[in-house]
Amino acid sequence: MAQDIVLKVENLSTSFLFKRRTVPALRDVTFTLREGKTLALVGESGSGKSVTSLSILRLLSSPGQIVGGSILYRTRSGAVLDLAGASARTMRQVRGGEISMIFQEPMSSLNPLMRVGDQIGEMLTLHLGLRGAAMQTRVRELLELVEIPAAARRMWDYPHSMSGGMRQRVMIALALACNPRLLIADEPTTALDVTIQAQILRLMQRLQGELGMSILFITHDMGVVAEMADEVAVMYAGEVVEQGAVRPLFARPSHPYTTGLLASIPSAARGFAEDGTRLPLQAIPGSVPSPLDLPPGCTFAPRCASSEASCRETARLAPLGPDHLTRCWKMRQSA
């Protein structure tokens, strides 16, 4: 694994194993994240983004289980760990100490019975051994780092006494407590209004520049991807269907699903019909297939206007150009 790669996920497959049936949630997911960079995982709800993040941190609840592939992570010391097969003890050291995660809804992630300062302090004690005055000083510094006013007083507040934006800042402070090498942000601005969302995104960009961490950013918002990410991996039905640098991929999407996502974004530049009415938004017909009944070959074929009989054959992620991968064989053929 190259020295500048922090995380390399190869052929990751995750399933939910029931007595009578196995439900595949991820199939051969592959991507890399480089040091100090941001990789966005984007796709519709149900595409496998959150399951990917939970698989990386081994936080899947039963009956979820990693059934194939590897999750290679380079630690601060330079050692490479395969998190897919790491012991429970190793994962306890990695979570929070090396890799941290910001969840979608802070109110369901924070303990409502503990003051926010105590929750951050618990992380500092567990991983860094800080206690007493040293711990409280560090908690205050972290809250100031994420721009919470009157941090010395607010550290004694309970989560319910804070606004949604403040709670999300506390979640970021909690995630940054041990200066992680990798931060996983699972739709951290979904529950916030637009103004607060912009503030949180700017805060994350500033902290990334100051701390030099890598970010795996999970979202369904292509506008956030354009603002935050260096590279993007588009997921559909548990697979990565396209991956590449953000600007080239947005300018020339190669997979019909990526094209459909970009075309469905509201835009002031959308054209007008002959009678002067604005043309309607384009929509992708149909819905994401059930993992219990996946179509053969390309899983997007039933919703794709350009699909042919050959699209029912096995589709694999392959290079289209430098640092650009796609799962659409027709685009590779035309290129």
Model confidence pLDDT, tens digit, residues 183-241: 999 988 876 788 888 888 888 999 899 889 999 999 988 888 988 999 999 999 999 99
Given the DSSP bridges, would you call strands 324-326 and 318-321 parallel, antiparallel or unpaired? antiparallel
Half-sphere exposure of 10 (CA within 13 A, CB side): 8
Give Cβ neighbours of residue 250 (< 8 Å, ≥ 6 apart).
Answer: 222, 226, 262
Rounded to whole angstroms, the Cα distance separating 184 from 128 reads 20
Half-sphere exposure of 156 (CA within 13 A, CB side): 4
The candidate with the shortest Cα–Cα distance to 68, out of 8, 23, 10, is: 10
Given the DSSP bridges, would you call strands 99-102 and 318-321 parallel, antiparallel or unpaired? unpaired
The candidate with the shortest Cα–Cα distance to 52, out of 262, 243, 332, is: 243
Q: Is 80 exceeded by the pLDDT of residue 330?
A: no
22, containing H or E segment: strand 22-34
Is the CATH number of domain 1-98+180-266+278-334 3.40.50.300? yes
Rounded to whole angstroms, the Cα distance separating 275 from 71 reads 55
Rounded to whole angstroms, the Cα distance separating 321 from 319 reads 6
The candidate with the shortest Cα–Cα distance to 220, out of 265, 252, 259, is: 265
Q: Residue type at 320?
A: L
Considering the chain, what percentage of its residues have pLDDT values greater than 90? 57
Q: Is 90 exceeded by the pLDDT of residue 182?
A: yes
Mean pLDDT rounded to a whole number for the chain:
89
Helices 164-175 and 194-211: angle between axes, nearest 10 degrees: 20
Q: Is 70 exceeded by the pLDDT of residue 270?
A: no
Q: Is 90 exceeded by the pLDDT of residue 278?
A: no
Rounded to whole angstroms, the Cα distance separating 232 from 40 reads 5
Q: Is 60 exceeded by the pLDDT of residue 11?
A: yes
Residue 249's pLDDT is 92
From the number of C-beta atoms within 10 Å of its C-beta (0-12, 13-18, 19+), residue 194 rates as exposed
Alpha helices in the chain (DSSP H): 49-56, 88-94, 106-109, 116-128, 132-145, 151-154, 164-175, 194-211, 222-228, 246-251, 256-263, 329-334
From the number of C-beta atoms within 10 Å of its C-beta (0-12, 13-18, 19+), residue 39 rates as buried
- Per the listing, tokens 């260096």 go with 230
Q: 229 or 323, which is more confident?
A: 229
Residue 268's pLDDT is 59
Q: Is 90 exceeded by the pLDDT of residue 109?
A: no
Question: Band of the pLDDT at 334, cuts 50, 70, 90?
Answer: low
Rounded to whole angstroms, the Cα distance separating 45 from 56 reads 19
Residues of the chain with CATH 3.40.50.300: 1-98+180-266+278-334
Q: Is 80 exceeded by the pLDDT of residue 90?
A: yes
Q: What angle do CA 216, 2, 66 make, to 5 degrees?
A: 50
